[in-house]
């Protein structure tokens, strides 16, 4: 029996709300919960301790006014939102987390973690600023070990290499499934809309039962392809194909995807951390697990790493694989590294790939919807 | 075959009737209701030319385009400005447009298609609205801006934000600056803003300055001096968006007819 599409998609959409009950039940069963914010967090180490890693709420406008009582107004909305959820007890995952793991990916976040530590125990991993050189590698490798030791101590468990290897396998399996799903976007026309892709990718970060998630996605792919092969077309073949890059999207930034698709564009690929960035490369299953994790998590194509050539290489490949007509870079207000990088990305896309590019600086409010409408529809008219 | 282009901006609603040439045009204040203004523009144009609505293809643009329920097609002002400028002068490759509530720089190819553009985000800095607020403060009329600023030594206005600039101007006047030099300073401030935007997109010749403020020779000269390049304007530049809409409309209409 084929799963009806809207229901399956909505299930992911509702994952955050439903998660309240899931996570409460897990706590009642005695499970430890570790809250995370970023694609740099090695979830495998948490899983290896038989704890549950979960993404924390960070993409809504609601808690921002509360956060601004402590944090500057001119700060990235993702940081303000994360902190706001934390101090207002409105994120079930944060509420039930036994430990929060953060990384020094940017100045705003690392200073915010200092304040957050007053509310919950926060473990911050010191991320090197570059992938170049042995010092960076060794520093990051050591941070993996320190995290492992902290979790062992915190939860009174021992994490063996065997535990790590199993966790790596499980995470790779999840990545393969997500990849198989978002790669539906390579089809011309895509069998699903960009908003649907995003809902599943974003929703998956709030799911606790990954076996069930893999199964649901697998069924979803099957039923989508069945309909597609029967000639169902949700997206016009003429719709310009858009790749999204830049800061994390989901939650309130869905507005950009919505406007793109309402104006005739089709979002076929999410290069950012909600999508390809975290799932594109797997963790090597054949070498020492800590080395394998270090290697994987040092090479995330994030703008906080300098130089960030990995992002260029990734974009280069994705633009071809997804037959992209235009690239939209979403930059959250006050995210300096992504904002500065827009110049390089534009130059690369315009000059090396001959692809039109636009950068959108936005936040989680609705105040720029009118402007976005005009700018995005003009961009699509141009393609 | 006729097409009608209507550009409903925040200040004025413009319309033209087109059959390859501009047959008729009209500019009226948008007022509080873009919907009413657009209807009035359409009815007046039909009335003046004796063309029946069914015989024309209507393309609407500008921020008020969403309220036009009789349009056959709607497009953003960016696409329309590009086509309009190309119609007025097909050597144009860069358009500087300062509208009532936004400013934009558009780069086009030799067919008048948009290659790249940038638009101010969110605030009114450097727009027509900014000038209007400042000129009201000086007790002058926007129409007299050229007479007022001719030969004046510009004061330097530092604030980009309309509200802060207002305070700054009040302080300047209190400190004895002349109305003329403050007004000239305001024009320089607007020019700086559009020149910065332009340098981000990259300027290619020929350059055309459009939008309501393009009627000011002083502002045109200031921009031209800052860019160290010749800046072209047209007496029809306020109609530019409407012209573009009509040009696109006529092409579309012809394509549709040829398929029938």
To the nearest whole percent, how much of chain A has pLDDT over 70? Answer: 96
Q: Is A213 exposed, middle or buried (0-12, 13-18, 19+ CB in 10 A)?
A: buried
Angle, vertex CA B165, rays to CA B160 and CA B169, nearest 5 = 145
Mean pLDDT of B90-110: 92
Instruction: Determine which of A216-220, A255-259, B151-155, B157-161 has the lowest per-residue pLDDT on average.
Output: B157-161
- pLDDT (tens digit per residue) in A282-307: 999 999 999 999 999 999 999 999 99
pLDDT value at A5 more than 70:
no
Q: Which of chain A's residues have a Cβ under 8 Å away from the Cβ of B129?
A: none
State how far the Cα of A254 lies from the Cα of A200, in Å rounded to an integer: 12
Å between B47 CA and nearest CA of chain A: 31
* Residue-by-residue DSSP string for A269-297: EE-STTTHHHHSSPPPSSS-HHHHHHHHH
Q: ω before A189 within 30° of 0 (cis)? A: yes
CB B177 within 8 A of CB B152: no
Q: Which of chain A's residues have a Cβ under 8 Å away from the Cβ of B117?
A: 378-379, 382
Mutate to test the interface with B, among A354, A367, A375 (most CBs of B within 10 A): A375
pLDDT value at A10 more than 80:
no
pLDDT at B161: 83
State how far the Cα of A241 lies from the Cα of A184, in Å rounded to an integer: 13
H helix intervals, A117-160: 134-155
Instruction: Determine which of A11-15, A46-50, A62-66 has the lowest per-residue pLDDT on average.
Output: A11-15
pLDDT at A17: 67
- pLDDT (tens digit per residue) in B58-78: 999 998 998 888 999 999 999
Nearest to B78 among A361, A370, A378 (CB): A378
Q: Half-sphere exposure (CA, 13 Å, Cβ side) for A276?
A: 25
- Model confidence at B101, pLDDT cuts 50, 70, 90, reads confident
| Partner-chain contact A356 B115, CB within 8 Å | yes
Q: What are phi and psi of A358, to 5 degrees?
A: -140, 145
Instruction: Determine which of A322-326, B81-85, B165-169 has the lowest per-residue pLDDT on average.
Output: B165-169
Q: Which of chain A's residues have a Cβ under 8 Å away from the Cβ of B78?
A: 374, 378, 381-382
pLDDT at A349: 97
Report the candidate in A271, A238, A244, A248 with the shortest Cα–Cα distance to residue A258.
Answer: A244
The mean pLDDT value of chain A amounts to 93
Å between A376 CA and nearest CA of chain B: 9
Q: What are phi and psi of A364, to 5 degrees?
A: -90, 5
pLDDT at A19: 75
Residues of A with CB under 8 A from a CB of B: 350, 356, 361, 367-368, 370-371, 374-375, 377-379, 381-382
Mean pLDDT of A93-104: 96
DSSP A349: I
Tell me which chain A residue has its CA closest to the CA of residue B78. A378
Nearest to A378 among B114, B121, B122 (CB): B114
pTM attached to this predicted model: 0.91
Two tokens, residue A70: 């402590």
| Partner-chain contact B79 A381, CB within 8 Å | yes
- pLDDT (tens digit per residue) in B16-28: 999 999 999 999 9
pLDDT value at A23 more than 70:
yes
Angle, vertex CA A37, rays to CA A319 and CA A368, nearest 5 = 65
Tell me which chain A residue has its CA closest to the CA of residue B65. A374
Report the candidate in B201, B150, B152 with the shortest Cα–Cα distance to residue B177.
Answer: B152
State how far the Cα of B221 lies from the Cα of A380, in Å rounded to an integer: 34
- 3-state SS string for B44-58: HHHHHHCCCHHHEEE
CB A118 within 8 A of CB A97: no
pLDDT at B97: 93
* Residue-by-residue DSSP string for B174-241: HTT--HHHHHHHHHHHHHHHHHHHHHHH---SSEEEESGGGG-HHHHHHHHHHHTS-EE--TTGGGHH
pLDDT value at B122 more than 80:
no
pLDDT at A330: 97
Going from the N-terminus, what domains does chain A have, and what CATH number goes with each? 8-160 (3.40.50.11890), 163-382 (3.40.50.11900)
Nearest to A371 among B116, B117, B122 (CB): B122
State how far the Cα of A54 lies from the Cα of B105, in Å rounded to an integer: 44
Exposure class string for B143-163: b at 16+ Cβ within 10 A, else e: eebbebbeebebbebeeeebe
pLDDT at B257: 81
Nearest to B75 among A371, A379, A381 (CB): A381
Rg of chain A's alpha carbons, rounded to an integer? 20
- pLDDT (tens digit per residue) in B196-237: 999 999 999 999 999 888 989 999 999 999 999 999 999 998
To the nearest whole percent, how much of chain B has pLDDT over 90? Answer: 73
Mutate to test the interface with A, among B61, B83, B121, B241 (most CBs of A within 10 A): B121
Query: Coil, strand, or helix at residue A30?
Result: coil
CB A305 within 8 A of CB A131: yes
CB A260 within 8 A of CB A326: no
């Amino acid at each position: 029996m084929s799963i009806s599409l809207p229901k399956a998609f909505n299930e992911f959409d509702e994952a955050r709300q439903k998660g309240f009950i899931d996570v409460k039940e897990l706590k009642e069963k005695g499970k430890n919960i570790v809250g995370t914010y970023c694609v740099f967090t090695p979830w495998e180490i948490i899983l290896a301790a038989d704890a549950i890693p979960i993404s924390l709420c960070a993409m809504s406008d609601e808690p921002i006014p509360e956060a601004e009582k402590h944090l500057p107004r001119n700060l990235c909305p993702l940081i303000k939102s994360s902190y706001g959820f934390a101090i207002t007890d409105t994120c079930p995952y944060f509420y039930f987390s036994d430990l929060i793991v953060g990384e020094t990916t940017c100045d705003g976040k690392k200073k915010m973690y200092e304040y957050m530590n007053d509310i919950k125990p926060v473990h911050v991993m010191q991320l090197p600023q570059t992938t170049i050189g042995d010092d960076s590698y060794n520093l990051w490798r050591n941070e993996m070990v320190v995290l492992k030791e902290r979790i062992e101590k915190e939860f009174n468990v021992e994490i063996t290499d065997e535990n790590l290897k199993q966790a790596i396998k499980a995470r790779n399996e999840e990545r393969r499934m997500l990849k198989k799903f978002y790669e539906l976007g390579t089809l011309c026309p895509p069998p699903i809309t960009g908003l649907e892709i995003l809902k599943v990718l974003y929703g998956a970060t709030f799911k606790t039962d990954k076996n069930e998630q893999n199964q649901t996605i697998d069924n979803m792919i099957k039923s989508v392809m069945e309909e597609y092969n029967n000639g169902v077309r949700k997206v016009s073949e003429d719709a310009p194909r858009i790749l999204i890059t830049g800061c994390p999207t989901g939650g309130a930034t869905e507005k950009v995807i919505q406007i793109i698709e309402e104006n005739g564009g089709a979002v076929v690929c999410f290069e950012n951390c909600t999508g390809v960035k975290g799932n594109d490369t797997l963790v090597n299953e054949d070498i020492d697990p800590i080395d394998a994790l270090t290697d994987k998590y040092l090479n995330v194509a994030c703008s906080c790493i300098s130089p960030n050539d990995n992002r260029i290489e990734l974009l280069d490949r994705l633009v071809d694989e997804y037959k992209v007509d235009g690239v939209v870079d979403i930059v959250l207000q006050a995210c300096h590294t992504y904002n500065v990088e827009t110049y390089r990305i534009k130059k690369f896309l315009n000059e090396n790939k001959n692809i039109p590019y636009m950068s959108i600086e936005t936040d989680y409010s609705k105040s720029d919807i009118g402007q976005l409408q005009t700018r995005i529809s003009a961009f699509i008219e141009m393609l | 075959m006729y097409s009608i282009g209507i550009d409903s901006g925040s200040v004025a609603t413009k319309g033209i009737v087109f059959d390859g040439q501009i047959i008729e045009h009209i500019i009226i204040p948008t007022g509080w209701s873009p919907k009413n203004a657009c209807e009035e523009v359409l009815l007046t144009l039909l009335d003046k030319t004796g063309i029946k609505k069914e015989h024309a293809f209507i393309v609407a643009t500008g921020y008020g385009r969403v309220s036009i329920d009789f349009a056959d097609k709607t497009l953003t002002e960016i696409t329309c400005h590009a086509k309009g400028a190309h119609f007025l002068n097909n050597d144009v490759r860069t358009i500087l447009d300062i509208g009532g509530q936004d400013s934009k720089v558009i780069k086009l190819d030799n067919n008048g298609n948009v290659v790249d553009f940038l638009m101010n985000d969110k605030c009114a800095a450097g727009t027509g609205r900014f000038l209007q607020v400042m000129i009201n403060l000086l007790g002058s009329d926007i129409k007299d801006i050229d007479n007022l600023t001719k030969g004046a030594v510009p004061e330097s206005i530092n604030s980009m934000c309309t509200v802060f600039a207002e305070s700054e101007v009040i302080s300047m006047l209190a400190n004895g600056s002349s109305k003329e030099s403050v007004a000239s300073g305001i024009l320089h401030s607007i020019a700086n803003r559009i020149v910065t935007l332009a340098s981000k997109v990259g300027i290619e010749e020929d350059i055309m300055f459009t939008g309501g403020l393009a009627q000011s020779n002083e502002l045109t000269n200031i921009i031209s001096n800052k860019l160290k390049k010749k800046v072209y304007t047209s007496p029809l530049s306020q109609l530019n968006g409407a012209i573009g809409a009509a040009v696109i409309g006529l092409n579309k209409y012809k394509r549709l007819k040829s398929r029938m």
